[in-house]
Amino acid sequence: MTFKTTKTHAVHGGTLRYLTHDSTATGTPMTLSVYMPPGEGPFPVLIWLSGLTCTEDNFTTKAGAYSAAAEHGVIIVAPDTSPRGEGVADDPAYDLGQGAGFYVDATQEPWVPHFRMETYVTGELIALIDAEFPTTGTRSISGHSMGGHGALTLALRHPDLFRSVSAFAPIASPTRCAWGEKAFTAYLGDNRSLWAGHDAALLIESGAARGRFDEILIDQGDADSFLTDQLKPELLQAAADAVGQGLTIRMQPGYDHSYFFMASFMADHVAFHAARLKD
């Protein structure tokens, strides 16, 4: 097996494994968790992408996803948010470098040798999961904040890989917020025309989702401190309205940006994907 198991837990009748492997995409060891529901399978897969500063462990321990995954018979794969380790570029700030890969393939130094998270998720990780676990070969994708941006953009850029996509409090248009502008300048350079291909609102506006996803599900807390300046879900809504893309944005009163918010609505997202993975 390519993966090395570091920890195993029984959860809701299934098995949770923490895994490591040597990645050819990033040139570093990568870590992830995989939840296998009870039964022999094969099962469809839901890939979860986490947000700034997170590892694979934040979702695994805080999201409360595994009861729903067991009920619906879905494997959940949660990779780390970036390459890490000695010799891997980093930045003192929380929103750049290790823990902040933004799910793009960097083209600029010093990031380009290792920061290839788009290739890692859509190429290497998917292939390894399908090769080494009892999957049906079908999958969906979801995520939170930076990971919500990643889920949306990777689904829109690689629609043949995913049956459905959802997000919690995603960075809707990173070309129009400080988090995205900082990360894209560092990873992709100053040519803003290249950034548009990694902006969910602009991708939807260009028609990337048309005919691919019947509905995109977004949950957003209205007490989220990042809502106005960084997340801007209204830009997603405007893009979807412009091209007739199915989009549901559920503004959740009183909820913030934390995992308490995600845990409150996670079962809805697992069910949303399970319904589309069984078609």
- Cα separation of 65 and 42, whole Å? 19
Active site residue 257: yes
Distance CA(50)–CA(20), nearest Å, equals 17
The Cα–Cα gap between 105 and 112 comes to: 7
Q: 155 vs 52, 167, 233, 245, 275, CA distance in Å? A: 19, 11, 17, 14, 17
Respond yes or no: is residue 224 known to be catalytic.
Answer: yes
> Is residue 205 within 8 Å of residue 237, measured between CB atoms?
no
Contact status, residue 170 vs residue 148, Cβ threshold 8 Å = yes
Give CA angle at 93 (87, 95), nearest 5°.
95
Dist. CA 211–CA 246, nearest whole Å: 10
Active-site pick, 144, 257, 269, 273: 257
How far is Cα 83 from Cα 273, in angstroms, rounded to an integer? 28
Q: Which of 80, 95, 219, 224 is catalytic?
A: 224
The amino acid sitting at 95 is D
At 59, which amino acid appears? F
The pairing of beta strand 29-36 with beta strand 75-79: antiparallel
Residue 73 · residue 39 · CB < 8 Å? yes
Q: Which amino acid is residue 31, in one-letter code?
A: T
Point out the catalytic residue in the list 145, 164, 166, 173: 145
Q: Find all residues with CB under 8 Å of 37, minimum gap 6, and list them.
A: 12, 13, 14, 43, 69, 70, 72, 73, 74, 75
Query: To which residue do tokens 């609102």 refer?
Result: 201
Active-site amino acid positions? 145, 224, 257
